[in-house]
Amino acid sequence: MQLNTNHAFKEWAVAIDALEQGKMIMLLRKGGIHEQNGRFTVAHDRTLLYPTYEHQQPSLLKPDYASLVQPVASGWHPETVRIGSWASVTDILPVTEATVVQALLPFHVWNEQFIRDRLKWKPKQPLYILLLRTYKLAQAQIIPYRSEYGGCKSWIDLAGFISITDALPVLSDAAYTRLVAEIRGIIGNNSYAPSI
């Protein structure tokens, strides 16, 4: 059976690289400026991973990842975008405690300053930890950039559909399950599966 989607989740390119290499399974969200009511919601449980470059800041990444970022001017975008993976959102874990977020530092690419900034922004809203099972596409797709893909929003629909058939998981079932258990152990039972 052929599976296709045009739903895409925007994230810093350096984070998507880490997901594709199996170096992490976690993304952090509070909500993009242009999202409905300014709140983050999971629009799709299966989504292509769309790399962004404009807001990547080396100063907010751990040293190993900061060196991978090439800063770009505000408003810059590539002429084409490489889509090399898709992910299934398996867990949504709301977190409000700084100590819990601190304990999660080994599981992602961002540094303590980034985490502090995320918690302080809209302090009454939780920081959402998304756990993603990432799959590499059988063949990466190069798509043209379109202006509607820009802006501070997490979710976009691409102009065309991309096949996710025959994509291979980055991590084995056992490795992914182990990491999820570790992260859930830190956060506790304050979590829920996505309801799309």
Q: What is the pLDDT of residues 24-69, one digit of tens each?
A: 999 988 754 444 555 567 778 899 999 998 888 888 889 999 888 8
Q: Which of 125, 123, 172, 163 is nearest to 143 (CA)?
A: 163
Between residues 51 and 195, the one the model is more confident about: 51
Assign 195 a pLDDT band (cuts: 50, 70, 90).
very low
pLDDT at residue 119, as a whole number: 77
Structure-token pair, residue 73: 């001017």
DSSP 68: T
Which CATH number describes the domain made up of 4-187? 2.30.130.30
Q: Which of 29, 42, 41, 60 is nearest to 122 (CA)?
A: 29
Between residues 187 and 121, the one the model is more confident about: 187
Assign 185 a pLDDT band (cuts: 50, 70, 90).
very high
Q: What is the pLDDT of residues 87-132, one digit of tens each?
A: 999 998 888 888 888 899 999 998 888 888 877 777 777 888 999 9
Q: What is the pTM of this model?
A: 0.88
Helix (H, G, I), strand (E, B) or coil at 79: coil
Q: Which of 16, 81, 93, 77 is nearest to 47 (CA)?
A: 16
Q: What is the pLDDT of residues 123-175, one digit of tens each?
A: 777 888 999 999 999 999 999 999 999 887 888 999 999 999 999 999 999 99
Q: Rounded to whole angstroms, how far apart are CA atoms 100 and 150?
A: 32
pLDDT at residue 5, as a whole number: 94
pLDDT at residue 57, as a whole number: 84
